[in-house]
Amino acid sequence: MSELQDLVALIRADTPLIVIETPDEARVVELFRQTLMQAWRALYRWSITEGLRRIDLDREDPSEVAPDASTTLAAIQAAEQRGVYLLLDFAAYLGYASTQRQLRDIVQRRHSLPHVIVLVGAKVELPADLEAHAVRFAPRLPDANALLKLVREEATAYSREHGGKRVEADDAVVARIVRNLQGLNANDARRIARHLIFDDGVLSEADLPQLAKLKFELLNRSGHLHFEYDTARFADVAGARRVKRWIEQRRAVFAEGKALPGLDLPKGLLLLGVQGCGKSMLAKAVAGGFGVPLLRLDFGALYNKYHGETEKNLRDALASAEQLAPCVLWIDEIEKGLASSGDGGDGGVSRRVLGYFLTWLAERKAPVFLVATANQVHELPPELLRKGRFDEIFFVDLPSADARAEIFATHLRRRRLVPDGFDLRALADAAEGFSGAEIEQAIVAALYAAHAAGAPLSEFQLRAELKQARPLSVLMREQVDALREWARERTVPAD
């Protein structure tokens, strides 16, 4: 059934109390006006500023009832004709026992005709005895066709306001903009579309990051998600050839919605590996490879000392991520937030959080691609590693000689140095056992030594820093070797 048909059915059934949570009051009023074509009732709108007005006539009748809540309910109870009453922001007045009693009398038909009372507000919380009588109705969000119409309307408005100048737009980009606007109500989608169009009269690839930022700022109500502005390109990541190929094969399906029959939407990756080997950079590059925004969820920040708050924080954060889809959701060092804890020392919070997270992994429909990174695989709950939770588990090992040479070249270029002035192959051989992060720190240390000596960076200084440094693969050889041995038969090499 359509949204309108659902609402008509509720009115025809004389549903005593309907609750609609939305900031878009105008759309709700218009929706009820449309129901009059199929289920005629006298239609009224109330607000504390305007009082009670009849709005189903050609003109709105001025209110003859005092605008306070008690007088309004008394007028509804005394009405001699069945009606639909849209009460805007009325829930705030239900804190009074007398107002609750009046409304309960109306919905229970005590000395009242079978009216339909509709409470409309951004958030409507009811006392328990009223909630039992209420039906909550959620207006549907605009679909792709409605959003495309909305974007075209804003383009027409721009042309009208700029002397007939047409908006420059590529059809493929407009299709991606429409897809990224999904999950927003009409008002919010129109505001973002207007911002993008009126900025320069052009809709191009360059608008997509701005759209993602605006959408995030609008929808991140949980406060536990972080928008990562600095997504990396795969070209910035040394090695990881298998991961790059894996993402490229799925880009059109995930980012552009071009799925063939029988293809499931990509779910996510788990990146295991040695610390400092580029898992975080790779997670950022996945978002760059898909061409979608990157959100980071800090699991540690979800935990709260009050009962039930931790689970609520997780639900809110994941709901926000779904509204921001298509996107990549990055959980760094996931073992710190979901480590096994069978002793129940936290009152079962960890188990409940894990249970909800696993359910979300299995049942989510929105295009939210999860990238989780972990260093200590033995601390991860076995339920998370079961096949099907993630599409693939990649192991990010210490970089190979070719990858180390590429890492040297990348970090030298970032510091405005010319890689061709160094023997990269010799440096790569000298850095055997070093992670990417350790190679970067060796370059930083050598630069400080060169600065102190008042001379440009030399290959000799780089070699000296590498020689005196002790990488993690040496300091924690047993743990690193054990991790690599565990991953050998259980994961797919990233490179």
Task: Indicate whether 346 pLDDT > 80.
Answer: no
- pLDDT, tens only, 388-402: 788 999 998 888 899
Order of strands, sheet of 327-331, starting from the edge strand that comes earlier in the sequence: 225-228, 294-297, 327-331, 368-374, 268-273, 392-396, 492-493
What local confidence, expressed as pLDDT, does residue 426 receive? Answer: 92
Band (1; pLDDT cuts 50, 70, 90): low
Q: Which residue has the tokens 């260093």?
A: 375
Q: Which residue has the tokens 């055997």?
A: 432
Task: Indicate whether 63 pLDDT > 70.
Answer: no
Task: Indicate whether 22 pLDDT > 90.
Answer: no
What local confidence, expressed as pLDDT, does residue 344 receive? Answer: 52
Share of the chain above pLDDT 90, in %: 32
Q: What is the mean pLDDT of residues 343-364?
A: 78
What local confidence, expressed as pLDDT, does residue 117 receive? Answer: 94
Band (321; pLDDT cuts 50, 70, 90): confident
More confidently predicted of 292 and 371: 371
Q: What is the mean pLDDT of residues 103-112?
A: 91
User: For all residues of the chain together, what is the average pLDDT?
Assistant: 86
Task: Indicate whether 342 pLDDT > 60.
Answer: no
Reported CATH class of domain 234-396: alpha beta
- pLDDT, tens only, 422-456: 999 999 999 999 998 899 999 999 999 999 989 89
Task: Indicate whether 23 pLDDT > 70.
Answer: yes
User: Model pTM?
Assistant: 0.69
What is the C-alpha separation between 64 and 87, in angstroms, rounded? 16
Task: Indicate whether 339 pLDDT > 70.
Answer: no
Task: Indicate whether 73 pLDDT > 70.
Answer: yes
Domain 401-475 carries which CATH code? Answer: 1.10.8
* CATH architecture, range 3-136: 3-Layer(aba) Sandwich (3.40)
- pLDDT, tens only, 220-240: 665 678 887 666 677 677 778
Residues with Cβ within 8 Å of 96's Cβ and at least 6 positions away in sequence, in order, are 69
- pLDDT, tens only, 141-150: 788 888 999 9
Q: What is the 3-state secondary structure (H, E, C) of 204-232?
A: CCCHHHHHHHHHHHHHCCCCCEEEECCCC
What local confidence, expressed as pLDDT, does residue 307 receive? Answer: 59
Pair type for strands 116-121 and 17-21: parallel
What local confidence, expressed as pLDDT, does residue 322 receive? Answer: 86
- pLDDT, tens only, 178-233: 888 887 888 888 999 999 999 889 898 888 888 888 888 777 665 678 887 666 67
Task: Indicate whether 415 pLDDT > 70.
Answer: yes
